[in-house]
């Protein structure tokens, strides 16, 4: 296993749609997953998509802390997201969106408010290539949308309704007396 370098905004790999994985059990995919799982905690993030490590394939690795589900009011085991999603597909379950601050390992130091669907259904393959599916809401739904956007060449600033709200996390924290922005990197 290896800790991988993270691509930053401006690199072309982050702008293009990633290729689907044909065989999840292929050695290069298994190595990619292992390396991404090692890289994620090292980078201090909660989610990582393969294009962020310069690999244009539809693979996402997640490590969302349990207390984030609890803070959203859904701590049931079904609410937990899998650690690995291959070829994920998201389907909004309602038109309702919520705005919250996001941050990204590929856009270091910055944060901004992003509208996201509050409830989504998801399907994917697990690390062994078996079909998995579930529903996510709140923070978990947000993380999934952020990561899956990476697979389509979209970074969160492109989802902001007002790019004037993009700022350095330190400055935004200072200016927001009423609420701390959610700034876990994903």
Single out the segment in contact with Ni ion by CB under 5 A; choices: 2-10, 69-77, 90-98, 99-107.
99-107
Nearest residue by C-beta to Ni ion? 104
At residue 157, φ and ψ (nearest 5 deg) are -60, -25
Which one is catalytic: 28, 72, 147, 170? 147
Counting residues that bind Ni ion (by CB under 5 A) gives 2
By CB under 5 A, the residues from 104 to 143 that bind Ni ion are 104
Q: Find the part of the chain contacting Ni ion (CB under 5 A) among 21-29, 66-74, 102-110, 172-180.
A: 102-110
Count, residues in the chain: 186
Of 54-62, 80-88, 123-131, 178-186, the segment contacting Ni ion by CB under 5 A is: 178-186
Tokens representing residue 104 in the block: 């990204």
Long-range CB pairs of 127-130 (<8 Å, 24+ gap) are 127/24, 127/30, 127/33, 127/83, 127/84, 127/86, 128/24, 128/25, 129/23, 129/24, 129/25, 129/86
Greatest Cα pair distance in the chain: 50
| 171 noted as active-site residue | no
Closest contact distance (angstroms) between CB of 77 and Ni ion is: 26
Instruction: Name the residues that contact Ni ion, by CB under 5 A.
Output: 104, 186
Catalytic residues: 147
């Amino acid at each position: 296993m290896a800790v991988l370098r993270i691509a930053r905004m401006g690199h072309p790999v982050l702008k293009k749609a990633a290729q689907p994985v044909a065989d999840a059990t292929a050695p290069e995919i298994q190595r990619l997953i292992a390396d991404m799982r090692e890289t994620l905690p090292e980078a201090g993030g909660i989610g990582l998509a393969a294009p962020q490590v310069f690999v244009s394939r539809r693979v996402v690795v997640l490590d969302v802390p349990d207390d984030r589900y609890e803070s959203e009011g859904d701590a049931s085991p079904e609410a937990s997201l899998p650690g690995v999603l291959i070829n994920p597909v998201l389907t909004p379950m309602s038109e309702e969106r919520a705005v919250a601050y996001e941050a990204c390992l590929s856009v270091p130091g910055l944060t901004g408010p992003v509208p996201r669907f509050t409830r989504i259904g998801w399907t994917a393959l697990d690390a062994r290539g078996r079909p998995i599916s579930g529903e996510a809401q709140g923070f978990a739904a947000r993380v999934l949308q952020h990561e899956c956007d990476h697979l389509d060449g979209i970074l969160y600033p492109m989802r902001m309704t007002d790019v004037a709200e993009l700022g350095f996390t330190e400055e935004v924290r200072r200016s927001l007396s009423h609420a701390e922005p959610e700034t876990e990197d994903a």
